[in-house]
Each structure stands twice: as structure tokens, then as C-alpha cells.
Amino acid sequence: MQGNLSSLALVKDHSRSFAGFLYVYPVISRRSGGLSIGINLNPDKRCNFDCIYCEVDRRTPPRTTVLDTARLRDELQIMLRRIKAGALAEHSRFAEAPSLATEIKDIAFSGDGEPTMIPNFAECAQLVADVKKQEGLDSVKIVLITDAAGLDKADVKKGLEILDANQGEIWGKLDAGTEAYYRLVNRTTIRFERILKNLLETARVRPIVIQSLFLRVHGQPMPPEELDAYCARLRELVDGGAQIKVIHAYTVARPTPETFATRLEKEHLEAMAEIIRKKTALPVMTFE
């Protein structure tokens, strides 16, 4: 299954900065299948991973280090109303495909760091759910894009319950099959075992999406034995009771600060996806 739609590729601007907004930004997302409204809970750029492929420039100072929930609510409401009025389609960012800027596919917690690191994630989840309902967008999904490290926190679990009641969906990161490769790609002190445990416990409660970025590191793709181990981790999750809707397999889309982290060719990504399908019996969508 190919997740790439030709019209989505026309919109090149995926910046998390939009007009005078601090926390809310619109983007045409291939994985969402259209217009996604991003919620940046980490304007301070804090993250518990330092992935070699991350596009966030942490060498420059953040625009703000404060998460003002009142402003977040106002920005989200203004953004949703602009879209419903057709005003967003007139913005230069969407000039190549204005029709894509009229239908909201999801509202996504995805910013300049890990959303679950904030101390009041549940409050923010409720805020988004409330605004979504007030604007008559009950059917629009709320997506949490996460590295899974914080899914075991009490406040985050409370937030997940709020998402469950409001068309929520969790996209959990899994980029490796072994501790060594995980540390190479994700560069974190958090143990791989914790990520796997959090994915398992979260997916036992509700179906989740696994998001996996595959790339070349110093010119080399993921070794075959690492891909075998990755597939084994997925099978272990399923055998343990995890409900996995689909795997999003994608690669580097834009230049990264680490020049040795480069994109995979379409053919290589598709070949990896086919191996994953055969070894796990799980559906895989690929995105370039």
C-alpha cells in the first residue's frame, strides 16, 4: 500500500512557523492524507531524543520557552475558523494546491520536541478536544505523534483516555530492532526496553500506529539483521497483546543537520516494507 498522493507532494512548505502563531500551524501531511493542524507543545525545543534525522534546529534560540494554554486555545480556535471560512486556502503556502487546505484531516500534537514531556499533557488534550467539539469537528482525529518514552506517565495516560473519547490516535515511534541501533539513530539515554514496554502497554488498551523512519547512516541502510530484529520486536508486541493498526514506513524528507543521515530510495523503502509485511503479517504504508 503506497501512502503517497501526487497532489500532496505539491505543497513543499512544512514549517512549524505560521503567521504570528506560536503554537498552532497548518501543514499538508502525506501521512495524514491532507491538511493537518499541528500543535507544538514544545516551543522550547526540549526533547528526550536527539534523533540523527531530526529537522529541528536546536542551535538557534526558540521563539518562546513558555506554553501559554490560553493563547494555545485562542490560536487553535482562530485557525479552525479560518479553515472553515476558506481563508487558509488563499494563503501563499497552499498556492500549489489550495483545495487541500479546506478539509481538516487531523489535529496533531507534533512540534519541536516530545509532546509528552510537558507536565500538563492531559490539560492540553482536553483543551484540543473541547475546541474541536465547539467548532463542530467531532469526526476529526486528534493524533499524538510520540517517541513513546513518556507513555507510562500518569498525566499522559490520563491524556490518552481523553484522546480515546475524542477520535484520538497514537503514532508511536519504533526505528530499530536492537538497543545498539536504537541508540545510533535516536541518540537517547532512555533504554530501548522502556520504549517497547510503553508501546505494548499502550497498544493493549487501544489500537496504535507504529511510525518507523528508515534511512541511510553514513551511506548504509539498515542492515538485514537489524531489519530482522525490528520485525521480531513487532511480532513480540503483537504476541503480547498489542493492537497495531498499521506501520508507517517513511524516510528523510528534507535535509537534516547531520549530513550523514540521508534518505532511502523509493525502491529500497518499498523492499523493506515488503519484508516487514511478510515477516509480521502487519499492514505497511510507505511515504517518501
Domains within the chain, CATH numbers bracketed: 6-287 (3.20.20.70)
Side-chain-side CA neighbours of 203 within 13 Å: the count stands at 26
CA pair distance 136, 265, nearest whole angstrom: 41
Mean local confidence (pLDDT), 33-57: 94
Q: How far is CA 269 from the centre of its chain?
A: 19
Q: Which among 158, 160, 118 has a CA at the least distance from the CA of 142?
A: 160
Q: Read off the DSSP letter of residue 167.
A: T
| Residue, of 21 and 254, whose pLDDT is higher | 21
How far apart, in Å, are the Cα atoms of 204 and each of 108, 155, 177, 233? 22, 18, 20, 15
- State which amino acid sits at residue 73: R
Indicate if the pLDDT at residue 231 is higher than 70.
Answer: yes
Residue 189 makes CB contacts below 8 A (sequence gap 6+) with none
Ranges of H-type helices in 40-178: 69-84, 121-134, 154-164
The set of cell numbers assigned to 103 is: 478539509
Indicate if the pLDDT at residue 7 is higher than 50.
Answer: no
Mean local confidence (pLDDT), 58-69: 88
Q: What is the pLDDT of residues 98-154, one digit of tens each?
A: 888 889 999 999 989 999 999 999 999 999 999 999 999 999 999 999 999 999 999
Q: What is the pLDDT of residue 180?
A: 98
The set of cell numbers assigned to 90 is: 488563499
Q: What is the pLDDT of residue 8?
A: 44
Q: Which among 125, 33, 37 has a CA at the least distance from the CA of 75?
A: 37
pTM given for the model: 0.91
CA pair distance 73, 67, nearest whole angstrom: 11
Indicate if the pLDDT at residue 65 is higher than 60.
Answer: yes
Q: What is the pLDDT of residue 61?
A: 86
CB 225 within 8 A of CB 264: no
Q: What is the pLDDT of residue 109?
A: 98
